[in-house]
Amino acid sequence: MVINKWKSRSSFILFLLPALAFYFFFAILPLLQGFWLSTTNWDGTAPWTPAQISIPVFEKKVLDQTPNPSDRALLLKYYTKNPAAGMYQRHDLYGLDRYRLLMIFSARGIVNPDFQNIGLKNYTDIFTGNIDPKFFPQNYHQAKFQEGDPLDNIRLISQDEWQRRFTNHIHDQTELSFLYQAYTLTPKGYELNKSFIPLSSTDIQTALTAIPGLGDAWNDFYGDVTDAGAQLKTPGIVDELIQKLGPVKAHKIAPSGLVQLQSLGQYAYKEAYLKHLVAHYWYVAKIRMGVLVFTIFFTVFNVLFVNVLALLLAFALDTKIKSRNILRSVFFIPNVLSLIIVAFIWQLIFTQMLPKLTGYSDWIMNPDIAPWLTVLVATWQGVGYYTIIYLAGLQNVPQELLEASSIDGARVWTNFRKVILPMMFPAITICLFLSTAGALKTFDIIFALYPSNSTAVGVDNVVINIFYDAFRDKHAGAATAKAVLLMAVILIISGIQITLTKKKEVEL
């Protein structure tokens, strides 16, 4: 089946060369260069050799110090003297010459600080956690109410929330009693007393401007009272602030105005105090997954859902139903569509269709649901492909085995476990391998589903993070280092998968 010697060595090389050459140039060479770049601090844009260099520096430091005539020719080929600007300007540079010039300049000691070899610093940075904190999981408080939100948002607080947020957490008696002053317990929950703060903040301010004699001082007064309330100062602060008012000292405000001032001040103070309290305690403690954990999350659930669904579909389709081939085709259609198109389709579904259908509009930008949405879309896109593989695997289970075991009286589940599953093992192996590698490297779907806002929502996975690191945050060197580590991880996981399945196959 195999020959030991080619009649002519040249044929071997000739046949092999094209593929090897292209592979080398466009995969291996960039790979090696990637390793090299990961040891630099290149930001992706800085020129490797100066685009402009002043005439004296160029001539003295570079030209004169370069003895080699071909090097000098090279320098002069790319740098033209522009006396008007006092500079030598470099133009159109590509190919190997770029590297030659780089070597000449670094030999002369002229390096761009944004393109220096920093050894393994990128790697140590990653391992010591000295990179973007968004990479790792973090606790955060999702604010349910911010200090500038309208009072209307907290007119009604359910008993549940009250218990969870306030009763369990507030220990300061002053704060608690303030809250109980503001709210009354009704069958609907805790309702804000209308008389507590009878005016809207806008109306309070409007009323302040209407106090004769106060003039422009109302603005600072309102600001000070609000700040005092937000700092949870005692109620007496309102009178203090009134006393400090210039127009009061100058008797420009009538007693009736003072009364107004006091009540308005109290309202503003109470509003700020209340809002600060609520904002401070009304949050949901959450964990932001971060890039690393999200990648794991996505991989695990995508692989799980895709394989389980595909398996189920394969079983369903491997029956006598007549439309089986058509159904198989239908389920495969999403897989032939471009991932970008798939993501754009689902973007429209999430932003237009679902809100109209369900009345609930916060789907795609909801940080809690968003990770699941990405898993959903990726699963939808991939399930058809694996269904086909599982179907093929199922069709390899000999009928006799199935019939034999059911004659035995074996139940469906045992049948499944002991007979079908082991025979499907190659198919399961392939699917697990492919789906895991694919999930780890998923880029297009998430990128198109969340163009430019994936970071804010929290659905950056490692490959998207690398992409943004290189092209948005301008850390080409560091980003490539991350990619090297990713490669190592994929190697390890693939290795584990292969060894495990090889072992299992042997057992079978």
Partner 1 sequence: MSSENSALPRRAKTVQLGWIIFELVMILLAMIFIYPTIYILINSFKGTQEIVVNPIGLPPHPSFENFISVLQREGAGGYTFLQSLLNTLLITVISVSGVILISSMAAYVLARTKSKASWVIFSIFAFFTVIPFQLIMVPLVVLATDLQFQNIWGLSLMYWGLGAPAAVFMYHGFIKSIPYSLEESASMDGASHTRLFFQIVLPLLTPITATITILDILWVWNDFLLPYIILKQGTLVLFQFNFFGQFTQDFGALTASLVMSATPIIILYFAMQKFIIKGISAGAVKG
Partner 2 sequence: MKSFTKALFTMSTVALLGLGVAACSKPAPKTITLRLSLYKQEIAKQFKDLTDAFTAANPGIVINTEITPNDGGAAQAAAAAAGKLPDIIQSPAYAADFQLAKQGYAVDLTNLPVIKDVNPDLLDGVTYEGKIIALPTDVGTLGILYNKAIFAKYNLKVPTTYLELQQVAQTLKKNKITPFAGLLKENWSIGHFMELLHGSMLGAKGYDGLKGSAAIAKFAEDMNQGKADWGKVVDLKAMFRIMDWYHSNMSKNALNNAWNEEVAEFASGKTAMVVQGQWFINPTIAAEKAANTNFDIGFFPFTWSNNPAENKFFSSADSTFVLSTQSSPEKQAAAEKFLNFLATPEAIKIWTGEFKLVPAFKDADLSSMPSAFGDIAASESKLGSYSWEFSLAPDPTWENAMKNGALGYVLGKMTPDQIAASINKSWKENYKN
* Binding positions for partner 1, 5-34, rule CB under 8 A: 6-8, 11-12, 15-16, 18-20, 22-31, 33-34
* Binding positions for partner 2, 317-356, rule CB under 8 A: 350-352, 355
Q: Which of 364, 445, 481, 484 binds partner 2 (CB under 8 A)?
A: 364
Binds 71, which of partner 1, partner 2, none (CB < 5 to 8 A, cut-off by type)?
Answer: none
The Cα–Cα gap between 97 and 111 comes to 17
Positive/negative CA dihedral, 36, 41, 45, 50: negative
Q: Are 68 and 107 in contact (CB under 8 A)?
A: no
C-beta closer to partner 1: residue 217 or 481: 481
DSSP string, 60-111: IIIITT---HHHHHHHHHHEEEETTTTEEEE----THHHHHHHHHHHHTT--
CB environment 307-319: b (16+ within 10 A), e (fewer): bebbbebbeebbe
Q: Which two tokens stand for residue 401?
A: 């085995």
Binds 2, which of partner 1, partner 2, none (CB < 5 to 8 A, cut-off by type)?
Answer: partner 1
Q: Which two tokens stand for residue 469?
A: 């690191």
Q: Euclidean distance between the first and final Cα of the chain, in Å?
A: 28
Q: Which of 31, 46, 434, 490 binds partner 2 (CB under 8 A)?
A: 46
The HSE-up count of residue 67 (CA atoms within 13 Å, CB side) is: 0
Q: Which of 62, 391, 439, 446 binds partner 1 (CB under 8 A)?
A: 391
Q: Are 89 and 97 in contact (CB under 8 A)?
A: no
Q: Which of 98, 108, 252, 288 binds partner 1 (CB under 8 A)?
A: 98
Of 308, 303, 204, 326, the residue nearest 260 (C-alpha): 204
Which residue has 């859902």 as its token pair? Answer: 305
Query: Cβ 350 to partner 2, closest distance in Å?
Result: 8
Query: Cβ 153 to partner 2, closest distance in Å?
Result: 7
Assess 229 for contact with partner 2 (CB under 8 A).
Answer: no
DSSP string, 329-362: HHHHHHHHS-HHHHHHHHHHIIIIIHHHHHS---
* Binding positions for partner 1, 152-181, rule CB under 8 A: none
Query: Cβ 39 to partner 2, closest distance in Å?
Result: 18
Binds 329, which of partner 2, partner 1, none (CB < 5 to 8 A, cut-off by type)?
Answer: partner 1
Residue 342 CB-density burial (10 A; 0-12 exposed, 13-18 middle, 19+ buried): buried
Spell out the residues 6+ positions from residue 396 whose beta carbon is closer than 8 angstroms to its own: 423, 424, 427
Residue 40 DSSP code: B
Query: Cβ 188 to partner 2, closest distance in Å?
Result: 22
Query: Cβ 375 to partner 1, closest distance in Å?
Result: 16
Q: Which of 31, 34, 35, 43 binds partner 2 (CB under 8 A)?
A: 43
* Binding positions for partner 2, 403-462, rule CB under 8 A: 451-453, 455-458
Of 442, 290, 439, 281, the residue nearest 367 (C-alpha): 290
Q: Which of 11, 33, 124, 142 binds partner 2 (CB under 8 A)?
A: 142
Q: Which two tokens stand for residue 272?
A: 């700020």
Q: Which of 50, 247, 334, 371 binds partner 1 (CB under 8 A)?
A: 334
Across the strands, what pairs with 54? 87
Q: Which two tokens stand for residue 197?
A: 């703060």
The contact pattern for partner 1, residues 396-435, with x = CB under 8 A and - = no contact, is x-----------------------------xx-xxx----
Binds 223, which of partner 2, partner 1, none (CB < 5 to 8 A, cut-off by type)?
Answer: partner 2
Query: Cβ 320 to partner 1, closest distance in Å?
Result: 6
Of 482, 491, 476, the residue nearest 462 (C-alpha): 482
Q: Which of 53, 228, 364, 463 binds partner 1 (CB under 8 A)?
A: 463
The Cα–Cα gap between 73 and 78 comes to 9
Q: Which of 143, 330, 404, 500 binds partner 1 (CB under 8 A)?
A: 330
* Binding positions for partner 1, 40-59, rule CB under 8 A: 44
Assess 202 for contact with partner 2 (CB under 8 A).
Answer: yes
Assess 211 for contact with partner 2 (CB under 8 A).
Answer: no
The Cα–Cα gap between 192 and 267 comes to 13
Query: Cβ 194 to partner 2, closest distance in Å?
Result: 17
C-beta closer to partner 1: residue 28 or 120: 28
Across the strands, what pairs with 183? 192
State the residues that interact with partner 2 by CB under 8 A: 43-48, 50-53, 78, 80, 82, 84-85, 87, 89-94, 98, 114, 140-144, 146-150, 153, 200-203, 205-206, 209, 219, 223, 227, 230, 288, 350-352, 355, 361-367, 451-453, 455-458, 468, 471-474
